[in-house]
Amino acid sequence: MNRILLFNGDEWGNEVYYHKNLKKCMIRYTQKTLQEYIFEENREYRIIKWDDYLVYKNQYNKEKYCKPWIEVDKDYFFEKLECLPPFKWINDGFNERFLMSEYMTHNLTEHNVRIGNKYYTSICPDTMTLEQSIIEITNENQN
């Protein structure tokens, strides 16, 4: 059976699996059946495919946590660089970027970027490249 999720439309959902021996759908990490859980919670739920939920969750997190780039000082940049092992660290001489190895949620973490002698930070998906960061920073500073 594919992974599915009991989804109530807000930030959280619960994973549902089929228990072969009991021949029932169960809520993961509980001993409750799907029907018991829905009755006890007294909320409206729908079951969606896991992949559909991940798309929703990524968009939700991006809208909730991602903020505009802010300029920070050199001390802030190096404090972040030295406090945890950097993730995806890139330094081409003029531009530099690293992600914090401690994630805020799912695929979002703090990005720290140096462009020349200016330093910036923001919460972004870990898939964002240095080039995408530079484009966003440049566009935000032009407005």
pLDDT in tens, 49-90: 778 877 877 888 888 888 899 999 999 999 999 988 888 998
Confidence of residue 29 (pLDDT cuts 50, 70, 90): low
pLDDT of residue 12: 57
Which residues fall within 8 angstroms of residue 101, CB to CB, at 6 or more apart? 84, 85, 86, 87, 109
Does position 30 have pLDDT exceeding 80, yes or no?
no
Q: Which helix (H) or strand (E) holds 96?
A: strand 95-99
Q: 13-19 and 24-27 as β-strands: parallel, antiparallel, unpaired? A: antiparallel
pLDDT of residue 85: 85
More confident residue, 89 or 47: 89
Does position 2 have pLDDT exceeding 60, yes or no?
no
More confident residue, 111 or 141: 111
Confidence of residue 41 (pLDDT cuts 50, 70, 90): low
- The closest alpha carbon to 114, from 72, 86, 83, belongs to 72
